[in-house]
Amino acid sequence: MTQLALFLVLAAIAVAAAVSLILQRHPIHSALSLVVVMVALAGLYLLLDAEFVAAVQIIVYAGAIMVLFVFVIMLLNAGTEERTNLSRAAHYAGIPLAALLLVGLAYTVTRAATPIVAQPTPKDATRQLSMLLFRDLAFPFELTSVLILIAMVGALVLAKRDE
């Protein structure tokens, strides 16, 4: 019961913040709404007993990535956005496409081969996660980090090009 109440509260916060992210006029307010979404998601992970993932979610997304977003917005001193006329395609197709996506997702989730239920998490979940990442799935893990490194170097090269 407490679990359900907490889930509803956190989910409501996440959705409300996500809507606010789109509706806000000022980039900083949008960025802050996104931070709230991240923190609410971390709360949902906590409800699933995934302590490590929740902490890392906050450290990486709310703490590192969004701080950089806010930092850049502050540095550019971006002001309030002006509303232009929405694109015609978005005006007509937006809501039907969103509904289609929702139905598709719901269909896939309900049709999943193994029903999606929260597994009781073992006490040393963090240790097991590290075993997965650094032993069983070490190759894809390292490959992903190299990919991110390449993206970083690429960004630097692009930024330095006109010198």
Partner 1 sequence: MNGLFAQYPILLVSLVKIAVLLFILLTALAYIVWFERKVAAHIQSRVGPYRVGPHGLLQPAADGLKFLMKEDMTPAGADRFVYSLAPILAMTLALTTIAMIPFGPATITIFGQPTQLVVANVNVGLLVIFAITAISVYGVALAGWSSNNKYSLLGGLRSSAQMVSYELSLTMSVVGVLLLAGTFNLSEIIQAQSGFSWHFLPHWNLFNPTLPQVLGFFCYFMAAIAETNRLPFDLAEAESELVAGYHTEYSSFRFAMFFMAEYAAMITVACLATILFFGGWLSPFPLGPLSYWTRYLPTALFAAGGIALVLHGLRYRTALGRVTLPVVGLALCALGAACARPGIIDVIQGPFWFLAKVFVILFVYVWVRWTLPRFRYDQLMGIGWKLLLPLTLFNVVITSFAVVARK
Q: In 3D, which of 86, 1, 76 has the Cα closest to residue 31? A: 76
Q: Which of 12, 19, 59, 133 binds partner 1 (CB under 8 A)?
A: 59
Q: How many CA atoms lie within 13 A of 69 on its CB side?
A: 16
35 binds partner 1 (CB under 8 A): yes
Show contacts of 62-68: CB within 8 Å, 24+ apart.
62/35, 62/38, 66/31, 66/34, 66/35, 66/38
Residue 131 as a binder of partner 1 (CB under 8 A): the answer is: no
Residue located via tokens 């590192």: 64
Give residues 101-120 in contact with partner 1 (rule: CB under 8 A).
none
| Encoded tokens for 129 | 């996660």
Question: Is 62 a residue that touches partner 1 (CB under 8 A)?
Answer: yes
Binder among 18, 20, 44, 126 for partner 1 (CB under 8 A): 126
CA atoms within 13 A on the CB side of 90: 4
Nearer to partner 1, 68 or 98 (CB): 68
**According to the binding rule CB under 8 A, does residue 135 interact with partner 1?**
no
Residue closer to partner 1 by CB (options 42, 113) is 42
| Residues counted in the chain | 163
- 68 scored as a contact of partner 1 (CB under 8 A): yes
Candidates 74, 100, 149, 155; binder of partner 1 (CB under 8 A) is 74
